[in-house]
Amino acid sequence: MSDKWSNLQTEFSNAVRNPEMTPPKELSPLKGGTLATKRFNVYRNNVALSLINILKDTFPVTGELVGPDFFHTMAHHFCAQNLPVSPVMYLYGADFPAFIKQYQPASTVPYLSDIAALEWARNEAYYSADGKPITIEGLGSYQEDEIPNLIFTLQPSLKLIQSSWPVVTIWEAHQQADTKETLESLPSQEESALIVRPHLDVNLRAISASTACFISYLQKRTTFGGAIESAVQLDENFDIPANLAGLFSIGAVTAVGL
């Protein structure tokens, strides 16, 4: 560990992160003693723009909702306050949805933070551990009276986003090239989003609040019976067979056991 170099690195780092600072005096000046500011700015730009570009790639719909200039400014503010903690860059941006929520200029798009949360959940699902789905026939080896006590293991990629906005409808509208502009009229209903990657593709679908409740209890390793009970409390018409079949058919279950 060399102290002199460590101190100069600190000075260099601070100047890279703060454009108003002069570059470190330890850098060689240009001919005639001119400060090599434009040269130093290459590093400033590389750091700032590479981080902003990562957010652009991870949050494309969030970007389309506010336009490239607005997004760039918002991402720039975030990146200025949040340097990555490790070189594993797919983890960068986890706090961006929370940042957007308190970012005043974005308050005119009240669902923006929820869309960013949905995009972050898709990113996490893409990189999460793999799980091999099982079919509903896996329940066949249990007695009928054992079924309520079963514990389900769900895909490691499975995420739920609960929103007061139709987040799935908005996200899906931005997947077709011809409907990329903001939706003319938003459907008024709130939506929960289920994100899961059964194999290579990340799937996203809108689910009811009671289905979201059911799955969230299963994910917390509540028994099947307990999860149903909570869902029925929310919706007395909760369709148990349909929800159970649906969960298996989308490849969300990787194991069941007592």
Q: List interacting residues with another protein (CB under 8 A).
A: 1-6, 8-10, 12-13, 16-17, 23, 26-28, 30-32, 34-40, 42-43, 46-47, 50-51, 54, 83-90, 126-130, 156, 197, 200
CA proximity to 218, closest of 209, 227, 210: 227
For residue 145, the minimal CB distance to another protein (Å) is 36
For residue 242, the minimal CB distance to another protein (Å) is 30
Strands 151-154 and 159-162: unpaired
81/164 with CB nearer another protein: 81
Neighbours of 104 (CB within 10 A): 6
5/179 with CB nearer another protein: 5
66/125 with CB nearer another protein: 125
27/150 with CB nearer another protein: 27
CA proximity to 162, closest of 101, 211, 129, 123: 211
Contacts with 76 (C-beta within 8 Å, 6 or more apart), sequence order: 48, 52
Strand (E) positions, 66-199?
Answer: 151-154, 159-162, 192-196
Three-state secondary-structure class, residue 33: helix
88/258 with CB nearer another protein: 88
What letters, b where the CB count within 10 A reaches 16 and e where it falls short, cover 241-258? eebbebbbebbbbbebee
For residue 84, the minimal CB distance to another protein (Å) is 4
Phi, psi of 248 (to 5 degrees): -70, -40
For residue 5, the minimal CB distance to another protein (Å) is 4
79/117 with CB nearer another protein: 79
For residue 112, the minimal CB distance to another protein (Å) is 25
Sign of CA dihedral 8, 10, 16, 20: negative
For residue 4, the minimal CB distance to another protein (Å) is 6
